[in-house]
Amino acid sequence: MAKNNKTSAAAAAAEAQGAPENNTTVKFPVNNNPNTKGMSQSDKVAYIGALQNERAFLMTNTEKPSQCTIDGLTMLAQVSILDVAITEIASGNSVAGLIITANENNYNALMGMAIERGIKLPEFKMLPAPTEEQLKQAGVVGLLPAETRVVTIDKKDVSEKTIKSKKKEMESVAKAVSNPAEIKTPEQLKASLTAMLVKPISDGIDRPDARVQRTIKFYRGYLTIQANATEDKTAAVNEVKDKSRQKLLDEIAEIVGPCPFALTGTAYFLRKRSAETGSPISSFCLYRRSAVPEKDNTIDDQYVADIVRILLLWSCNSRIAECNEVIKEQKKHLENEKGAAKVATETAIRANETAIEELNLIITETTNPSFEVVDALIDNYKSDKTDSEEYKLAHRLVGNIIDTYYPEFKGKELDDETNEALLKNVQQRAGIIVNMFTDPLSQSINYKESNLVEVPVPEEKKG
């Protein structure tokens, strides 16, 4: 994996300003109208670059609501299109429009994440089909009106809190500096770190992990510059060099405060999978499939685990703080309420208390995950109790890991020997993932990379 070996303040400042390198280029017509509100054209290019594999197209006519079409909505696509829409609304536009493929399941997932972020979307059955002219304006080719739907997000359907949160992020971007050597105050550091996390990467692949990587480099550069200004700079610089990514991420989260709006969508999907499975395995796999590979086309799994961990903990703690604030306000009202109103408030308080319990459980499962599900994975996968929760969970986790590490085996007919070898590899992968979330002293020695075996992929049968 690529390492940060630069030690001087100048080198740190230079590296901290750079984005991850890649060969992705995106071209489309640009409207440079200086009076246009909303996202900059470079941000829109970055957005399209992030979603180009999902066949996303953004309208370049900025006099009309921004529109895009997504084919096969993924976590990344869903997070990005809502962020684009809310950015437009927070910038002063009253409506943001989306053109999506007519996939009700994908849309329902989008709705769930939207609700989490204070956005009310219409039911799928209420969505109209676009006209041929609308598809043409949006640059959509190969899809008929009947295969697509128009989603309109109106300002009145977005909570004030959501708009306020997005505006605060936009203010941070405006106040931020790109050179860590120019940071003079804690407020400027907070604004700059927030901007690094939320601002799209316009000259490279824009993925959440790429933004986090950029933020870590920036923050390490800032710390190195500060260390070089101390009396015992050698010791101070070495202390910065010795800080792990996990430690740096923890410090960044502490400085920034509540999880930024731009990351809450991703965190929602990660939390949802952790809550459903009682383990960080599915969350890790989901995030890894959107991660940006290194120059040698590899992915640093421990780095992915570090990001997933901080997003889970960061978002859980942010949500717990929100729930506690709501409970505090609800208890104030409770003192003066009677009858049905009092019952309703008590019910609302219990709902928030339950939510806090569930969030704390996710925190525990992230910081101290159990190996029980891994140890029993193959037995549960082969169980004849097909209606049991253990069987369903085992099949889900096996599917997640195959999708992530062994996609070449999907849909292939496997003989018993190959299937058995693949399952053993999958179990090892599951244990390796859990180990990455576990304290080093508590890790299981039963699961490690050296236990993985080569499994030949069956050849396609010819007609």
Domain boundary among 163, 186, 202: 163
Exposure string of 132-142, with b = 16+ CB inside 10 Å and e = fewer, is eebbebbbbee
Residue 251 domain flag: no
Domain boundary among 313, 344, 367: 367
89 burial type by CB count under 10 A (0-12 exposed, 13-18 middle, 19+ buried): buried
Rg (C-alpha) for the chain, rounded Å, is 24
50 & 124 share domain: yes
Q: Across the strands, what pairs with 158? A: 119
In a domain, 223, yes or no: no
Q: Are residues 48 and 129 in the same domain?
A: yes
Question: What is the pLDDT, as a whole number, of residue 462?
Answer: 57
Same domain, 320 and 414: no
Helices (H), 335-388: 339-367, 372-375, 377-382
Q: Where in the sequence is the domain holding 420, given as residue range(s)?
A: 372-451
**Which of 133, 163, 193 is where one domain is finished?**
163
Structural domain includes residue 457 = no
Same domain assignment for residues 404 and 323: no
Answer yes or no: is 307 within a domain: yes
Angle at the Cα of 439 (from 438 to 443), degrees rounded to 5? 65
CB 383 within 8 A of CB 268: no
Are 103 and 71 contained in the same domain? yes
Look up residue 359 and give its two tokens. Answer: 């969030």
Same domain, yes or no: 67 and 150:
yes
Closest alpha carbon to 127 in 152, 155, 94: 152
Reading the chain (463 residues) residue by residue, the pLDDT tens digits are 333 333 333 333 333 333 332 222 222 222 223 333 444 534 443 443 344 333 333 322 223 333 333 332 356 666 777 787 788 888 887 777 777 778 887 788 788 888 888 889 999 999 999 888 877 776 677 778 888 888 888 889 999 988 988 888 888 888 899 899 999 999 999 999 999 998 877 776 777 888 888 999 999 999 999 999 999 999 999 999 999 988 999 999 999 998 887 788 888 889 999 999 999 999 999 888 888 788 888 889 999 999 999 999 999 999 999 899 999 999 988 888 888 888 999 999 999 999 999 999 999 999 999 999 999 999 999 999 999 999 999 999 999 999 899 988 887 888 899 999 999 999 999 999 999 999 999 999 999 999 999 998 887 665 5
387 and 348 share a domain?
no
Per the structure, the count of domains in the chain is 3
316 and 430 in a single domain? The answer is: no
Where do we find the tokens 């100048």? 10
Could you give the count of Cα atoms lying within 13 Å of 367 in the half-sphere of its Cβ?
12
Residues 342 and 400 in one domain: no
Which among 310, 120, 119 has a CA at the least distance from the CA of 212? 310
**Are 437 and 403 in a shared domain?**
yes
The span from the CA of 30 to the CA of 15, in Å, is 30
In-domain check, residue 428: yes
Residues of the chain with pLDDT > 90: what percent? 46
Report residue 245: phi and psi, to 5°.
-60, -40
Q: What is the pLDDT of residue 426?
A: 97
The answer to whether residues 52 and 135 belong to one domain is: yes
Please tell me what DSSP assigns to residue 187: H
State the Cα–Cα distance between residues 396 and 407, nearest whole angstrom: 15
- Closest-CA residue to 457 (of 420, 426, 414, 423): 414
Q: Please give the model's pTM, rounded to 2 decimal places.
A: 0.76
> What's the full length of the chain, in residues?
463
In the chain, what is the straight-line distance between the N-terminal and C-terminal CA atoms, in Å?
43
Q: Burial code of 195-213, b = ≥16 C-beta within 10 A, e = fewer? A: bbbbbbbbbbbbbbbbbbb
Considering the domain architecture, whether residues 95 and 129 belong to the same structural domain is answered as yes
Nearest to residue 205, comparing CAs of 22, 367, 61, 407?
Answer: 22
> Tell me, what's the pLDDT at 75?
67
